[in-house]
Structure 1
Amino acid sequence: MLRLFAVVNRKRVILLLAITVVFAAVMSGCSGKQEGVRNDVTAGELGQRLKQAVKLDELKQRDKEALQRLYRLGDDEVEDFVLYTAASNVKADEVAVIQAKDAAQAERVKQNVSKRIDAQTAKFKDYRPEEYGLIQKHVLKRDGCFVLFAVSKDADRLEQVFDDALRRD
């Protein structure tokens, strides 16, 4: 009987430890520090760095309504963002840095941006081949809670600035 009691207690302890580990991982979300990754950067600061590195003057800065319309994202998913799109709908240029509230939301943000890419691809494929080429060379990446989406002739440079800004010096 004592042996059975010890086995049951051991299983309970293991289960309790597993639940504790999962709970800690969920609660830490994006606030936990990853080695080498900065967590004191905001989407606004990333946007400023991108703007300093690449000329975004021809693009128009957009608001929350545009973010919701283009990517189907709301306040419950997004902590902060910077969004630039072409002033005309005949251009595909678009740059977005979206800071999600947590890692799970960041993955959802990335999936929603992928849907935007599909829509833009269909829109420009036969209509504007040169813009379609830009879309094909887009950058879409996630780093922690941040998602970068860039359709630009300077997409590679934007990606480099994004990566550098999130790494510790």
Structure 2
Amino acid sequence: MRNIIKSFNTKSVITIFVCTITLVVLSGCSGKQETPSNPSALEIGEQIRHITNLEDMKEGDNKKLQKLYNINADEVESYVLYTAPTNIKADEIAVIKVKDMKNINNMKEKISNRIEKRSISFKDYLPEEYFLIEKHVLKTKDSYILLAISKDSDQIEKTFDKALK
């Protein structure tokens, strides 16, 4: 009788162990669909801060958002804005999360106007900075807008895209 109980306990333990391993493996392969992330512009800005040096740039506020792009802070859910410390540098990074999707194209157009003005003012004046403006990134994804005028525009764009997967 003892051998039967011993045998039963050993078999039970092995069975439980095998079932547990099977469940772990199957749950790891369940193919769950990831829900799209919905980060704030500040969270995306923090990720951008890790891949490019923003120490020399100035962080913009509501007044700067209005002055540069003619965008009212009430129209956006969140934003980050970094500008060059002087007017002889073209660097500018903005991530804007729009409150109402119907405004996104209008805001993108306002930012495009800013880029065009900057391009004209830098074209003959500072060719190196003009090059940065010419290779800028301006894109929208869902309710987000990205502007990157930087030597690291490609990396900033990749970080933006990754943050919104």
The answer to whether the superposition gives a TM-score over 0.5 is: yes
TM-score bin (small chain): 0.7 to 0.9
Q: CA deviation at 1:76?
A: 3.5
Q: What's the secondary structure of 1:81's corresponding residue?
A: strand
Letter in 2 for 1:107: N
Partner of 1:67: 65
1:49–1:161 CA contact under 8 A, matched in 2? yes
Aligned residue pairs: how many?
Answer: 133
Partner of 2:76: 78
Partner of 1:41: 39
Aligned pairs for 1:128-139 (under 5 A) are 128-139=126-137
Letter in 1 for 2:85: A
* Cα distance in structure 1, aligned partners of 2:128 and 2:34: 38
Scaled by the length of structure 1, the TM-score of the pair is 0.75
Q: CA deviation at 1:36?
A: 6.6
Structure 1 alignment gaps of length 5 or more: 1-34
* Cα distance in structure 1, aligned partners of 2:148 and 2:93: 4
* Cα distance in structure 2, aligned partners of 1:63 and 1:77: 14
Letter in 2 for 1:117: I
The one of 92, 111, 114 equivalent to 1:113 is 111
Larger Cα Rg: Structure 1 or Structure 2? Answer: 2
Structure 2 alignment gaps of length 5 or more: 1-32
Partner of 1:55: 53
* Cα distance in structure 2, aligned partners of 1:163 and 1:36: 15
Q: CA RMSD in A?
A: 1.4
Letter in 2 for 1:145: S
Q: What's the secondary structure of 2:39's corresponding residue?
A: coil
Q: What's the secondary structure of 2:73's corresponding residue?
A: coil
The one of 63, 71, 92 equivalent to 2:90 is 92
Identity of aligned residues (%): 44
